[in-house]
Amino acid sequence: MTKAMKTQLAENIDWVGYVDWTVRDFHGYVTDRGSTYNAYLVRDEKTALIDTVKAPYAEYLIENIAHLTELDQVDYLVCNHAEPDHTGAMPAVIQALPNVTVVCDKKCQAALAQHYDTSEWKFEIVKEGDTLSLGKRTLSFVETPMVHWPESMATYVVEDKILFSMDAFGQHLATTHRFDDEVPVPLDIVMYESKKYYANIVMPYGTPVKKTLEKASKLDINILAPSHGIIWRKYVDNILGLYQDWMVCKSAAKVLVVYDSMWESTAQMAHAINDGASIPGVEAKLFYVRGSDLTTLATESIDAACFAFGSPTLNKTMMPEMAAAMTYLQGLSPQSKAGFAFGSYGWSKGGPKAVQGYMENMKMDITREALECQYRPHAAVLQECFDAGRQLAEMAKKAAEA
Ligand code: FEO
């Protein structure tokens, strides 16, 4: 923590985490703006540390705590989530805090035991609705299973109306400032990074997110303090509102044309589809899978109403980068989407059909048979691509109005 950094959420409640400026790959997620691992210290008659950081940054966390209190004065370590970006430092932290008891739910205790040697750790097991008095302050625990692991929970400081929301509402975004109203990057970038985070980490868990939002709506929240990125205090309602849209993959009037190409035939088809989809009121976007990354693809996908996925045929199936894109999207399962497959082939078919199989697995509404051409897309094929793109655009408009 730099001395200039404002870290206080409320009197005696401070951020004590680590800003990771250099991380660019977070288990495959492209973090081109870095990240933070947020931990918080609540000091009262009893003192509670809320979460820790990634293993290599344990000493920074311990130093941040030591700036605020004696290490033997920390009574509790609340573990909201067992994933190593928040618990990797726990073994070192527990060694440094001689009087600490780990507070977590039963599933988290089991998960921690599978990651670390917890045989010497002291535990206090909590469940939904339990409270822990720190003196003047009370911690209340809210279970949020599958946001983002089965054992995940959030911790609410009743008196200060602060929700430590764990992964929910976070972003991979390194900044010198901790709060949404003082962060030196435009708000739309913060929101874009929040959307990217949701799309790549949380999107498969729409139903658990809905339950989490229902629980959050019953709490009076002044500050929403996630475990990555900036802390929300001015734009709490904005980010809660965006989650309402994202949890159902709410569609905009947007068509995404995702493709790979070998000798430009499928690329020409993609351009024709995109041209056809480019009508007023519709955002049509070309996404060349070897020109970008899967993290961006997921982000673009969450609010696209309609897709055209294209691949030429290589060895009777799709191109490998396209297979990676389809596999990644299938895992994230964007909901309520529609579209078709397209692509060229030489002497045997297979690429578009393989692509369509993934679309069917994602339960997409298949709007037409795969659009294929042999070797080169001549004028009639390109016209068919253009018309199919136009049809997708009209469908996207209707989906956005629904
Ligand atoms: Fe930031 Fe699911 O860990």
Report pLDDT digits (tens) over 74-109: 999 999 999 999 999 999 999 999 999 999 999 999
Distance between Cα 292 and ligand 1 center (Å): 24
Place of tokens 């205790």: 109
Distance between Cα 228 and ligand 1 center (Å): 8
- CA-nearest of 59, 61, 63 to 77 is 61
Residues 6+ apart with CB under 8 A from 169: 194, 224, 226, 232, 239, 240, 243
Tokens describing residue 233: 């205090």
Amino acid at 109: Q
CB under 6 Å to ligand 1: residues? 81, 83, 85-86, 148-149, 167, 227-228
Q: Is 27 a catalytic residue?
A: yes
β-bridge mates for residue 131, sequence order: 140
Q: Is 148 a catalytic residue?
A: yes
- Band of residue 6 on the pLDDT scale cut at 50, 70, 90: confident
pTM of the model: 0.95
Residue 58 sits at φ, ψ, to 5 deg, of -55, -40
- CA-nearest of 367, 372, 196 to 298 is 196
- Integer-rounded Cα Rg, in Å, for the chain is 24
- Band of residue 206 on the pLDDT scale cut at 50, 70, 90: confident
Amino acid at 153: M
Q: Pick left, alpha or beta for residue 301 (phi over 0 → left; psi -120 to 50 → alpha; otherwise beta).
A: alpha
Q: Report whether pLDDT(1) > 60.
A: no
Residues 6+ apart with CB under 8 A from 110: 151
Q: Report whether pLDDT(4) > 80.
A: no
Stated as kind and residue range, the H or E segment containing 194 is helix 187-197
Q: How many CA atoms lie within 13 A of 335 on its CB side?
A: 12
Tokens describing residue 45: 């008659």
Q: What is the pLDDT of residues 285-305, one digit of tens each?
A: 999 999 999 999 999 999 999
